Amino acid sequence: MNIDSTQIAVILGALFAVSEALSLIPSVKSSGVFQFIFNTLKKLTGK
């Protein structure tokens, strides 16, 4: 399966949309998908 630039753009757009939706929910500590991924990687590496 080859992924072209259009599919990558659609996936990134969807992730940003989910990120913006999460930032509107006050009870969510991690306000976005990318922040969640960053914090998870930081915990896994112990930094």
pTM of the model: 0.55
The residue ranges of every structural domain in the chain are: 5-45
pLDDT tops 90 at residue 10: yes
State mean pLDDT over 14-37. 76
The tokens for 9 are: 């753009």
pLDDT number for residue 47: 65
CA distance linking residue 4 with residue 38, whole number of Å: 25
Q: Give the helix/strand (H/E) hosting 45.
A: helix 33-45
Contact 13, 5 (CB under 8 A): no
Cα-based distances in Å from 26 to 22, 23, 29, 30, 31: 8, 7, 8, 10, 8
